[in-house]
Amino acid sequence: MMNKNNDYFSLIEKKNNFLKKKIKHNLNNTINVKILGGYTNNEIEDWLGYFLLTKGVHAKIDTSLWGPAYSDLNYVKKNKEDFLVIINSWRDLLSDKSWFDLKIKPSEINKIFETFFGKIKSNVIITLFDKPNININTKYGNLEEVVDQINFFIKKLKENNKKNMIEIIDFDRRNEDEYEVTNFRDWYSFGKLFGLQQNVNFTNIIANKISNNYIPPKKLVIIDLDNTIWGGVIGDQVPSSIKIGDESPEGRIFRDIQSYLKMLKLNGCLLAIVSKNEEKIALNFLKDKRNTLKISDFVTYRINWEKKYKNILSIKKDLNIGLDSIVFLDDNPSERSEVMNFIPEVNVPDLGSSPEEYLNIINLHNYFNFKNISSEDKNRSSFYIVEKKREKLKAKASNYSQFLKSLNTSINFIKLNSENIDRVHQLTNKTNQFNFTSKRMQISEINKFKLKDKKILIISAKDKFGDYGIISVVYINVKKELEIENWLMSCRVFNKTIEHGIMKELTKIAKKNKKTFIKLTYLKNDKNKILENVIKTLGFAKTKKKNKYIFNLKKKFDMNKIYCRILHG
């Protein structure tokens, strides 16, 4: 987290100011984290809680007693924690009496880890054992070699574990100054493995790995042009003097920036342009073969002299994307300040004044998670291009009903399997607007949901213009009445009566199971307010219980509201 734009003490002040504010935590994002090992961990606990809060995750954090992590692994409860953070150090291995001896045989440590990973169901973030910066020889060989053998065994355990998430952090592969684990002064004075700066960096890494499971990656990057993706001002210079490509050091910097953005696009992130320029001149230069990015890489653009925050709001409305899903990149601090002031929900990294640092600064914010990328993600840009064809058809239709009929939309109910569970997990954790409870679930929880009285309905959709892929997931419980525990749907298919088609299927399932009612829980928040109207149109009535709604199956469901065919399998 630390860089030359951010010293440790200014970050402490920022943290303290943040924690002074009374933050209303989303209880659906409250998780349990246990830290094992690391010896004196009060600062780790403090910083980890802070970084998780800044990412929208409230954590209850507990730490083990003094000592190495492996000594506590046999006592960990199987399902109590959402995440276990295991901190290993070369100091865990050596005997206090003589560094020639070890506290425990390497084979015994390996056995402890093997038993632990065989029974644990929590997610695990584990550091490999670091290596000392002094030469130590033990009766089992050089300590570096002993550490290598134990670390190799841990890596193999991770590879063989398919049940839960295991993330490994290898400090020896990181910059020594920033990520050195053992700090001798702090160790002897306070029993801390980490120095001040290393503490901040380490906890930010952990927070990123945890938050990736709960906070959806950003969907749209809106980019300025001049001095952001090329060097120079295209309206003031001849095109040949613009810096981009291999001809100059500055040009190579901007070439890499464009290559990074192209990589984001190919991983499913949308790209758009907001630039103060003459549209014709700017678009013409994008045709220059020195550019990695082409006009076709952008789903839309606003190249004019309007205020940038207004252009961003226009794009947001055009693409139907939440403001907090947008990242805005601009080299100009006054433009960044304007956007932050008028639309603070948009993510605006402080890029500074050195283009060679842009990518490092963007990376520090952990906006993009490439861990689980679905085919829907990779095709996101094409989805929006096809959507423009739908909009043209809509403009020609005499009314909205005629437009919906002409789409020839069909929805298909499919079963959960190994091929689509990543997409189900992704929708569950990324969807905000059409999400009745905003509850986030891990893959292990989704798999456990498939019990006798519980079902997961997975819905894909397509129309005359193309395949939307999987667009909705409904978690239902049919033990007493049919209860919708959560229902979420992609914003790509809003206002196409697909939710009515899904509701029709729910009524069929309820009647088949001889139920009288369909129950629904709706936890309203700032992002899912639109569902108030959806609840009414689907025929649900509010009950006396808070956040609870009910549909009486004696009531006839209005079939005329459905403009899609329903398929199975």
DSSP 417-482: -TTTHHHHHHHHHH--TEESS-----HHHHHHH--TTEEEEEEEEEETTEEEEEEEEEEEE-SSSE
Query: Which of 165, 191, 211 is the C-terminal boundary of a domain?
Result: 211
Query: Which of 349, 364, 379 is the C-terminal boundary of a domain?
Result: 364
Burial of 54 (0-12, 13-18, 19+ CB in 10 A): middle
How is residue 52 written in tokens?
């998780």
Contact 505, 566 (CB under 8 A): yes
Contacts of 544 (CB under 8 A, 6+ apart): none
The answer to whether residues 13 and 134 belong to one domain is: yes
The answer to whether residues 347 and 224 belong to one domain is: yes
Contact 35, 62 (CB under 8 A): yes
The answer to whether residues 427 and 354 belong to one domain is: no
The answer to whether residues 542 and 424 belong to one domain is: yes
CA–CA separation, 558 vs 299, rounded Å?
Answer: 37
Give the pLDDT of residue 183. 62
The answer to whether position 297 is within a domain reads: yes
Give the pLDDT of residue 174. 43
The answer to whether position 373 is within a domain reads: no
CATH of the domain at 321: 3.40.50.1000
Helices (H) and strands (E) in the chain, counts: 19, 20
CA–CA separation, 53 vs 55, rounded Å?
Answer: 5
Low pLDDT (below 50) residues in the chain: 1-6, 22-28, 173-180
The answer to whether position 405 is within a domain reads: yes
The answer to whether residues 409 and 353 belong to one domain is: no
The answer to whether position 380 is within a domain reads: no
What are 304's strand-pairing partners? 276
- Full residue range of the structural domain in which residue 202 is found: 8-211
The answer to whether position 453 is within a domain reads: yes
The answer to whether residues 407 and 488 belong to one domain is: yes
* Radius of gyration of the chain, Cα coordinates, nearest whole angstrom: 27
Contacts of 28 (CB under 8 A, 6+ apart): 437, 438, 439, 440, 523
The answer to whether position 369 is within a domain reads: no
Measured CA to CA in angstroms, residue 26 lies from 53, 349, 438 at distances of 10, 24, 9
124 in helix, strand or coil? Answer: strand
Give the pLDDT of residue 178. 44
What are 426's strand-pairing partners? none
The answer to whether position 32 is within a domain reads: yes
The answer to whether residues 445 and 341 belong to one domain is: no
Give the pLDDT of residue 326. 95
Contact 57, 211 (CB under 8 A): yes
The answer to whether residues 350 and 397 belong to one domain is: no
Contact 429, 441 (CB under 8 A): yes
The answer to whether residues 233 and 132 belong to one domain is: no
CA–CA separation, 548 vs 202, rounded Å?
Answer: 42
How is residue 74 written in tokens?
């046999």
The answer to whether position 303 is within a domain reads: yes
Give the pLDDT of residue 201. 83
The answer to whether residues 226 and 321 belong to one domain is: yes
CATH of the domain at 470: 3.40.630.30
How is residue 566 written in tokens?
């329903």
The answer to whether residues 316 and 431 belong to one domain is: no
CA–CA separation, 74 vs 78, rounded Å?
Answer: 10
Specify the amino acid at residue 180.
E
Query: Which of 186, 211, 236 is the C-terminal boundary of a domain?
Result: 211
Residue found under tokens 């398929």: 567
Residue found under tokens 């309905």: 457
- Overall number of domains in the chain: 3
The answer to whether residues 338 and 411 belong to one domain is: no
CATH of the domain at 153: 3.40.50.1110
